[in-house]
Amino acid sequence: MSSVKTYYIRGEFKKRKRKISFGKYVRALNIEDALEQVYSVIGSKHRVKRNVIFINPKDIKEITDPEEITDVVIKTFTIEDNLAIPKRK
């Protein structure tokens, strides 16, 4: 059974003749799923197509130490085993 890993992916995308750099922490089963998630989030948040998002394979890093993670939500999901989702009333 596969376990969920944390990845840090850096890249850039073009928007209105400008290059905008980004770095995202994502949790996924493998690198392909992590890339798919980054393309989806950047595309929907910044309204850019996938063909203007550039990610170098050298800029994909698997994070093994949770203390390296700066995103609070991703860090919490990495550290905590039994997160309880509150029930809605």
Residue 86 covered by a domain: no
Residue 26 covered by a domain: yes
Amino acid at 89: K
Give CA angle at 49 (43, 31), nearest 5°.
60
Residue 69 covered by a domain: yes
Residue 43 covered by a domain: yes
Residue 89 covered by a domain: no
pTM: 0.84
Residue 87 covered by a domain: no
CATH of residue 59:
3.10.20.10
Query: For the chain, how many structural domains are there in total?
Result: 1
Which structural domain range is residue 19 located in?
A: 5-79
Mean pLDDT is lowest, of 4-8, 42-46, 68-72, 84-88, for: 84-88
Per residue in 6-52, pLDDT tens? 999 999 999 999 999 999 999 999 999 999 999 999 999 999 999 99
Query: CA 7 from chain center: how many Å?
Result: 6
Helical H segments across 20-70, by residue range: 31-46
Q: Does pLDDT of 59 surpass 60?
A: yes
